[in-house]
Amino acid sequence: MSSQPKHDIFQAIADPTRRQLLRLLADKELPVTVISKHFPMSRTAVSKHLRILSEAGLVGEQKVGREKRYRLQAEPLIELKQWLSFYERFWENKISMLKHFVENEETADRKLVTSDRNKRESEE
């Protein structure tokens, strides 16, 4: 039997409901009955989302009495962070270019205003 997850983290977080579930479970361990109250869907549907997150290793479950409690297991998110960090350099480059453009526009606008002011003063 393979120890590989049935779903990778990219598949697991592709759904907005599952991303909300991760955020909800970030600070506390909760049973599915409490989790379900945060979503406009059945408990069965929430359970299916939790199962996918669990299969990706993003959610752990623990039996407490007669209920299962779910919690975030953030370790697999390191893979996502590493993948995103590769592309961060492109974002940083675009942000640098935008900053440079805006600063040059502001300088050009100031020069234009000063030029117009000087022109009006010389006409008076």
Q: What is the pLDDT of residue 2?
A: 47
Return per-residue pLDDT of the chain as tens, 124 residues.
445 557 789 999 999 999 999 999 999 999 999 999 999 999 999 999 999 999 999 999 999 999 999 999 999 999 999 988 888 877 777 777 878 788 888 776 666 667 666 666 666 6
CATH class, 9-72 region: mainly alpha
Going from N- to C-terminal start, the domains of the chain cover 9-72, 76-124
Q: What is the pLDDT of residue 1?
A: 43
Q: What is the pLDDT of residue 95?
A: 76
- 9 touches 79 (CB < 8 A): yes
The answer to whether the pTM exceeds 0.75 is no
Can you give the three-state secondary structure of the chain, one letter per residue? CCCCCCCCHHHHHCCHHHHHHHHHHCCCCEEHHHHHCCCCCCHHHHHHHHHHHHHCCCEEEEEECCEEEEEECCCCHHHHHHHHHHHHHHHHHHHHHHHHHHHHHHHHHHHHHHHHHHHHHHHC
Q: How far apart are CA 104 and CA 98, in angstroms?
A: 10
- 65 touches 24 (CB < 8 A): no
